[in-house]
Chains A and B, each alone.
Chain A
Amino acid sequence: SQQGEEDPQALSIQEGENATMNCSYKTSINNLQWYRQNSGRGLVHLILIRSNEREKHSGRLRVTLDTSKKSSSLLITASRAADTASYFCATLNSGYSTLTFGKGTMLLVSP
């Protein structure tokens, strides 16, 4: 079953703007990961946040996690046309070895 649900389903912005995508999940997690998928390609891991962390940064990426609300957000600052892709959150549920992926947010960054 799809645990992570991303919001919005699609997002269109201009270069230089910030993009925020949200993810909600239902059960206890060990960690939450964000992946990017360019058109016609496989998924690429971006960043991981553990259940005992609240915020994490990596370059232009900022991820937050609120376990009380079972939600996470991915912020891409100063977006570029090359950031155009689909973004997926994936949860590693407590006691399991597999990831459960959401359906993704399609981000379009226009020059």
Chain B
Amino acid sequence: DAGVIQSPRHEVTEMGQEVTLRCKPISGHDYLFWYRQTMMRGLELLIYFNNNVPIDDSGMPEDRFSAKMPNASFSTLKIQPSEPRDSAVYFCASKGTNYNEQFFGPGTRLTVL
């Protein structure tokens, strides 16, 4: 099993540009979580999906952020337009219904100049 896959691993962009982060969860997992990690705020849950349906997006900081899960094996987190304060490491994690453990991807380090 390849684990949770995220791409790109690193992204450097300029303020105002659109950024799309991608995630492939572990096959068979029906929960998918997007987190953001910064030194100041730690690890924050942005949004999570269950069976491809967004359940709670209360952690999404503002309308510039959007997330989709068109099928069980793919999810995107989009920031449009990006701002320097969006610079962080973004993690995707997945888990199965009857399990408590979350499996994290390697993260995408986003730098907005």
List residues of A whose CB falls within 8 A of some B CB: 2, 31, 33, 40-45, 48, 88, 92, 97-104
How many inter-chain contacts with C-beta < 8 Å in the A-B complex?
A: 45
Additional pairs, 6, CB under 8 Å, beyond known A92-B100, A102-B42 = A2-B41, A42-B105, A43-B43, A43-B91, A97-B55, A100-B45
Interface size of B in residues (CB-CB distance below 8 Å): 21
Interface pair B100/A101, CB less than 8 Å apart: no
Contact partner of B102 among A2, A41, A99, A103, CB < 8 A? A99
Least CB distance, A43 to chain B, in whole angstroms: 5
CA distance in complex: A40, B107 (Å): 8
CA distance in complex: A42, B102 (Å): 11
B4 in contact (CB, < 8 A): yes
B66 in contact (CB, < 8 A): no
List residues of B whose CB falls within 8 A of some A CB: 4, 31, 33, 41-43, 45, 48, 50, 55-56, 91, 93, 100-107
Known: A101-B42, A104-B42. A42 touches B106 (CB 8 A): yes
Interface pair B100/A48, CB less than 8 Å apart: yes
- Look across to chain A and name the residue whose beta carbon is closest to the beta carbon of B40: A103
Least CB distance, B11 to chain A, in whole angstroms: 15
Interface pair A41/B107, CB less than 8 Å apart: yes
What residues of B have a CB within 8 angstroms of the CB of A43 in the complex?
A: 43, 91, 93, 102, 104
CA distance in complex: A20, B93 (Å): 27
